[in-house]
């Protein structure tokens, strides 16, 4: 994820922000334009494509039937993966997922899990034996920053779009659907980056390349905090963190309205 950027650009973006301006003219707390399409990949059981500015994430959900974990014998399973495929940026590489891709997938997984968005108990078919296992795959197609928020939006949109296939005689019949995946919450993530003294929402790639610190905050629809992740080589003050937590709830509400 580390694009090389000249010192000059770095100084330019930071000085803009010091003057209260952003490189693309947005307000500090403003998301880029967002578009959401759902149900577009028909071999998936649920899917969505989300653009946030020029960042483009495709999400697909596939359901299979398998054994539950032994410590949660009557709960379904969610497996979230993200692939930063080399199509999406000159700096993404082939091979196993990078630490960055793993971080994105794990933080998105965390907010879905901790918010109780998916009713895992309803995904049990036979206790200890058979439960639904949902694979949520995030495919980054164009990378212009802020994968956490764009990816979460795509993930939730795809989960909301998911129809359960029929399960009969120990076979999954993907062509027949029995109803929607039980989704009870719409958690969202909002990501802020600190550049110099300024803090801006929804960083684009240029801003990510010069960030000092990053904070992602995930909240459920009641406004409870469900996931947080600080990133970047710099720090936040304690006051900044408390302030961003408050701001995050508002911004998450905005995102939630788009679904």
Rg for the chain (alpha carbons), in Å? 19
Q: Which of residues 122 and 242 has its CB atom nearest to another protein in the complex?
A: 242
Question: Min. distance of Cβ 120 from another protein in angstroms?
Answer: 11
Joined tokens for residue 252 = 């998450």
Q: Give the separation between CA 28 and CA 8, rounded to whole angstroms.
A: 22
Question: Min. distance of Cβ 185 from another protein in angstroms?
Answer: 11
Question: Min. distance of Cβ 225 from another protein in angstroms?
Answer: 5
Could you tell me if 205 and 1 are in contact, meaning their C-beta atoms sit under 8 angstroms apart? no
Q: Which of residues 178 and 235 has its CB atom nearest to another protein in the complex?
A: 235
**3-state secondary structure (DSSP) of residue 75:** coil
Nearest alpha carbon to residue 110 among 256, 222, 13, 229: 229
Torsion of CA 63, 65, 70, 73, to 10 degrees: 90
Q: Which of residues 249 and 253 has its CB atom nearest to another protein in the complex?
A: 249
Q: Which of residues 19 and 188 has its CB atom nearest to another protein in the complex?
A: 188
Q: Which residues are 215's β-sheet partners?
A: 192, 230
Q: Which of residues 17 and 61 has its CB atom nearest to another protein in the complex?
A: 61
Joined tokens for residue 92 = 């993404």
Question: Min. distance of Cβ 103 from another protein in angstroms?
Answer: 5
Q: Give the separation between CA 45 and CA 76, rounded to whole angstroms.
A: 16
Interface ranges with another protein (CB under 8 A): 40-44, 47, 54, 56, 58, 60-62, 64, 70-73, 81, 83, 85-90, 94, 96-97, 99-100, 102-103, 105-106, 110, 113-115, 135, 137, 139, 141-144, 174, 215, 220, 223-238, 241-242, 245-246, 249
Sort strands 130-142 and 124-126 into parallel, antiparallel or unpaired: antiparallel
Q: Which of residues 13 and 105 has its CB atom nearest to another protein in the complex?
A: 105
Q: Give the separation between CA 20 and CA 26, rounded to whole angstroms.
A: 10
Question: Min. distance of Cβ 172 from another protein in angstroms?
Answer: 9
Question: Min. distance of Cβ 85 from another protein in angstroms?
Answer: 6
């Amino acid at each position: 994820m580390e694009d090389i950027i000249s010192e000059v650009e770095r100084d330019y973006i930071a000085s803009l922000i010091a003057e209260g301006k952003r490189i693309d003219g947005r307000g500090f707390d403003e998301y880029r334009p967002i578009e959401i399409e759902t149900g577009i990949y028909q071999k998936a059981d649920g899917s969505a494509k989300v653009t946030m500015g020029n960042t483009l994430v495709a999400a697909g959900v596939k359901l299979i039937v398998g054994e539950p974990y032994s410590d949660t014998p009557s709960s379904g399973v969610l497996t979230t993966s993200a692939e930063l495929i080399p199509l999406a940026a000159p700096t993404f590489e082939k091979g196993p997922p990078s630490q960055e891709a793993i971080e994105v997938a794990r933080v998105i997984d965390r907010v879905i899990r901790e918010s109780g968005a998916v009713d895992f108990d309803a995904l049990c078919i036979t206790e200890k034996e058979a439960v639904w296992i949902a694979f949520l795959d995030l495919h980054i197609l164009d990378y212009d920053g802020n994968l956490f928020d764009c990816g979460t939006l795509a993930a939730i949109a795809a989960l909301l779009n998911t129809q359960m296939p029929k399960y009969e005689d120990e076979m999954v019949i993907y062509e027949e659907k029995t109803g929607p995946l039980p989704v009870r919450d719409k958690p969202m993530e909002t990501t802020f980056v600190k550049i110099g003294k300024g803090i801006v929402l929804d960083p684009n790639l240029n801003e990510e390349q010069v960030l000092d610190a990053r904070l992602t905050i995930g909240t459920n629809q009641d406004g409870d905090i469900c996931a947080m992740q600080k990133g970047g080589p710099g720090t936040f003050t304690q006051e900044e963190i408390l302030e961003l937590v408050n701001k995050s709830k508002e911004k998450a509400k905005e995102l939630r309205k788009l679904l």
